[in-house]
Structure 1
């Protein structure tokens, strides 16, 4: 069994489409929750929405259509309950964290380099 199967371009395209669908589903839930409960949708947490949706999916699947509406309203209320605080002037600099080392690259096997150090 080959764990690292080569994916075809059409499979990669399908995966990207699925991720975009999931992202848009979460954003539409955030929009619905924000507009329903008078919370700015851009202040709601994307990951919090994802977490709450995952927790509510079993209840939504098991419910009848009338109960599903109540569960959906509860989901929206939970999503809108705790907005993310405003963080003005937040910026993330585009820098590299690791500094290059002053040592040369290891171009020989470790045991040969060890022998060189011991004889020097």
Structure 2
């Protein structure tokens, strides 16, 4: 992690209230909700408050629901709005209600917004360089998750967690992720990379790492 990224991460985690309100304005979220025709009830933990809180929770060193609810209370108190109790159940239920398609829409629109601000002086030989990489993520041990993303076969049933392999394309200029795909753990890296090719544009340069065994990673241009 670069020093600049760490500084920004620390700034957000140490902030009172919900700092993502400034980075992801309500107007942007409202537009996405409208385009996706998502209906929601007007309540204290609406999609806006819940999403800002969820993003803060992900970045915070203290990822407990109690901590994020305290940030919500600070945010609402500053806005002179009736604050909820410190009980976390309402927030957890609201977070579970966030539609996955809304998160995907905001992921895409945020990356596009940053890309639109890139000028030619930041391009490499007039080309936009994209970086491809992969990783794995674990998730709660539920029947649904185990069915979709089985744990490693080397682990005995009940002794492991579902694990998925993810592939991501980043913009070298903005640092933002512009594409993401998820598959089962034993998916080959090349297969995962091919799923991301459709997100590349003409004249993009795709950069990937070299394998430890000497095999070449995905590198090239369109």
Name the larger-Rg structure. 1
Higher strand share: 2
Higher helix share: 1
Judge same fold: TM > 0.5, yes or no. no
Q: TM-score, normalised by structure 2?
A: 0.18
If asked which structure has higher relative contact order (CA below 8 Å, sep 6+), I would say: 1
